[in-house]
Amino acid sequence: MRPIIYALLLFLSISTNTFAYSRIDYTKKWEVKRFINHMNHEFGYKKKYLTLIFKKIRKNPNITSKKSCKTPLLKKRVKEGSWDRYRRIHMGKDHINLGIAFMKKNHKYLEKAYKIYGVSPEYITAIIAIESYYGDNCGKYYVFDQLVHLAFSKHRRKEFYKSQLEDFLRMCFKEQIEPRRVKGSSSGAIGLPQFMPSNYPLFGVDFDGDGKIHLSKPADAIGSIANYFNKNGWKKDEPVAIQTDFKGKRFYSLKTGLKYKYTQHSIKLKPKGYFKYKREVMIVKLSKAWSDEVWFGTDNFYVITRYNHSVYYAMAVHQLAQKIKWRDFNSKKQDLF
């Protein structure tokens, strides 16, 4: 009886929302018919079920009632550089305070991740902060509908999104998740770590041992992020970045970014503070309103950019992680007295 009950519940859940959204029947497209046949032949998924869910695709998958993390407003109208604005959005007081609370609540899994994968707790926490605001902003789109639109429209990356759609459906069937209920980003990223569906089989980890990988759960998100970093070359207890002694206004003397590496003795810049790192470094420039900050980036900094290829993103993760670590250390210190 269970399959019949499940089918009825599924039908009711789809029918109930029919009037809330305008629907499009994608089964009329030859590409979708071929995709359904492919999923049936390759993985044994029922054509009847696939046809049902492709028949009523929400015309607008945007969940307008979903709360989102708003950009902090400035009290005064002041000039901002690109780094000033990026930092303000991703490194507010709430990001730090909630990060400390997240680390305390999930210390068991964060310590386990550090032991197995060598990734420090504060960096995993910072990723979750920036990607999903600790789970409060995991996305405002119905992922299945959004991926269908992207995969079977005139989008220039439609083949990429078609593969993401396949991986998404395989994930849902494996974990017994109803695909039409999953929410995520406009590009189909899901859960606390905002993994694309193709990352799920490569890096997803059942970290709490319940037999399922649910990226909306802190434990599995923590293990999966740590696994992602580890497989991309993270080195345990090695530095990530350090500011240099550059004192000018704007930095133009050397090429900056991920493509260029320098031995430290070959350039005039020196690290500000203790920096136990002998390998080549990248030079990272942060453009503020009136001047530039110049940093050294290590191999671990590069690993963070595998999660998001922006140097600003990687620097925000690093600086937020250090702020969370420092505040967490001081709060523990105060508890002792």
Query: How many Å apart are CA 39 and CA 159, to the nearest integer?
Result: 15
What's the pLDDT tens digit per position in 152-172?
998 889 999 999 999 999 999
The answer on pLDDT for 241 being more than 60 is yes
* Amino acid type, 255: K
The answer on pLDDT for 264 being more than 80 is yes
The whole-model pTM stands at 0.88
Q: What is the mean pLDDT of the chain?
A: 90
Query: How many Å apart are CA 319 and CA 123, to the nearest integer?
Result: 9
Q: Given pLDDT bands bounded at 50, 70 and 90, which one contains residue 331? A: low
pLDDT reported for residue 326: 85
* Cβ 230 vs Cβ 118: under 8 Å: yes
Average pLDDT over residues 70-96: 81
List Cα–Cα distances, 156 to 150, 151, 159, 319, in angstroms: 9, 10, 8, 35
* Cβ 149 vs Cβ 80: under 8 Å: no
Q: Given pLDDT bands bounded at 50, 70 and 90, which one contains residue 63? A: confident
Q: DSSP string of 151-205?
A: HTSS-TTHHHHHHHHHHHHHHHHHHT--GGG-EE-TT--BTTTTB-TTHHHHH--
Q: Given pLDDT bands bounded at 50, 70 and 90, which one contains residue 1? A: very low
Provide the angle, in degrees to the nearest 10, between the axes of the packed helices 311-335 and 299-307: 110
Average pLDDT over residues 48-62: 95
The answer on pLDDT for 328 being more than 90 is no
Q: Given pLDDT bands bounded at 50, 70 and 90, which one contains residue 72? A: low
Dihedrals phi, psi of 319, to nearest 5 degrees: -65, -40
pLDDT reported for residue 202: 97
Please state, for a pLDDT cut of 90, what percent of the chain lies above it. 82
123 against 76, higher pLDDT? 123
Lowest mean pLDDT among 65-69, 213-217, 250-254: 65-69
Q: What is the DSSP letter of 142?
A: E
The answer on pLDDT for 9 being more than 90 is no
Q: Which residues are catalytic?
A: 131
Q: DSSP string of 264-302?
A: GGGSS--BSS-----S-BEEEEEE-SS-EEEEEE-HHHH
The answer on pLDDT for 276 being more than 50 is yes
The answer on pLDDT for 297 being more than 50 is yes
Average pLDDT over residues 66-77: 51
